[in-house]
Amino acid sequence: MKKLYTISKFKKRNSSRSAKRLRNRIKRKNKVYIPNIGSSHAIERKERKPVQNIEAPKEFSLINNTEAVLTYFKTAREYLKEGFPIRFDISKIQTLTPDAIALQIARIKDANFHKNNGILGNAPDNPDLQQLFLQSGFYQHVQTKGHKPHSKDTLIHKVTKNKVEPQLAKEACLVGLRHTFQSEEIFDPLFDILIEVMQNTNNHAGETRGEYDWWLHIFNEPETNVSKYTFLDLGVGIFESLPARSFKRKIGDLVGLTHNASLIEPLFNGEIKSRTGRPERGNGIPQVYDSSKHKAFNRFVMITNDVYVDMKTLEIKKLKNNFSGTLFYWELKKD
């Protein structure tokens, strides 16, 4: 038998539904709604915060203009934390390197960064930089209105948990080797670097092994034989990892550590051990450093926490802005 409703109950039931639909519609459109006085379905007035335009530095390159690019992302993070939507404005940049593109994609995809607030963006006005931006595969990793420009995707995002990915490392090797050397014979120093930086993310990026994802971007420069690799994670950074903190507690008072830059030598020498210390886990950062010396690598940079290191020259810079994470950038070049 069907349930019967009085007219008053029917009106009440449907008005509740209408109010619920209205609330959902307002929520979707993010509009302001001022209810009638005396309404039992009053909705709290919520103003939409204005979009904040974050203009990128003219030299948009983390490896070449580190402090300015870190400030750019720091400013964006502060606005997002306060609930403001932002626009990453790279329209006026004059130089661009692939590492900056990879970092911008990783930040956009990072929930700890965007805090569920909107992120808008644009492309460079400069035609050459616009082409580089397109070739980077950027649009394959973000949502955009209308048709996504076609590009060759060379950005790999992988959740590694507590293991490395030898097959993926091999594939990433071949992307560069085919371009630089026209060869498919695996180059051991490059393969070793990829395996060890993957393992470093698992061991050092956070409190829990495999807590953070890593990002790998490979850009084959069309007009040259240079392949540019960017590998990064957005974890705590090497010097805020458990192994490094443990090392600092042991020797900090003895040698008077004043800055993380003092830890580069023990890091490269293998004195800062991974959390397992097991030989099958690989040789970590010391292996990366040893491999970086090969003449096939035209350039090799590491940025983590408040330290910038040119691994080819061992030039070390102390950073004012902290980079929460670790970035390795290297260039594979035929001599």
Quick one: 119 and 172 in the same domain? Answer: no
Question: 26 or 79, which is more confident?
Answer: 79
Quick one: 100 and 185 in the same domain? Answer: no
pLDDT at 41: 44
Instruction: With H, G, I as helix, E, B as strand and everything else as coil, classify residue 163.
Output: coil
> Would 281 be classed as within a structural domain?
yes
Say yes or no to pLDDT of 44 above 60. no
Instruction: With H, G, I as helix, E, B as strand and everything else as coil, classify residue 142.
Output: coil
Residues 6 or more apart from 255 whose CB is under 8 A from it? 262
Report the domain count for the chain: 2
Quick one: 163 and 131 in the same domain? Answer: no
> Would 2 be classed as within a structural domain?
no
> Would 27 be classed as within a structural domain?
no
pLDDT at 251: 78
pLDDT at 38: 38
Quick one: 131 and 88 in the same domain? Answer: yes
Domain end, chosen from 111, 129, 147, is at 147
Quick one: 205 and 131 in the same domain? Answer: no
Distances (CA, A) of 15 to 29, 74, 273, 282: 21, 46, 65, 66
Domain end, chosen from 91, 115, 147, is at 147
In one-letter notation, the amino acid at residue 198 is: M
Number of H helices, E strands in the chain: 10, 10
Say yes or no to pLDDT of 279 above 80. no
> Would 293 be classed as within a structural domain?
yes
> Would 19 be classed as within a structural domain?
no
> Would 232 be classed as within a structural domain?
yes
Quick one: 185 and 296 in the same domain? Answer: yes
Quick one: 183 and 319 in the same domain? Answer: yes
Quick one: 129 and 225 in the same domain? Answer: no
Quick one: 227 and 331 in the same domain? Answer: yes
Is residue 311 within 8 A of residue 174, CB to CB? The reply is no
pLDDT at 173: 94
- Banded model confidence at residue 30, pLDDT cuts 50, 70, 90: very low
Quick one: 116 and 165 in the same domain? Answer: no
Quick one: 199 and 273 in the same domain? Answer: yes
Question: Which of 220-223's residues contact partners 24+ apart within 8 Å by CB, and which partners?
Answer: 220/154, 220/175, 220/176, 220/179, 220/180, 222/135
pLDDT at 37: 33
pLDDT at 258: 74
In one-letter notation, the amino acid at residue 215 is: W
Distance CA 136, CA 102 (A): 8
Boundaries of domain holding 125: 47-147
Q: Model pTM?
A: 0.79
pLDDT tens digits, 141-186: 666 655 555 555 565 655 555 456 788 899 999 999 999 999 999 9
Is residue 307 within 8 A of residue 262, CB to CB? The reply is no
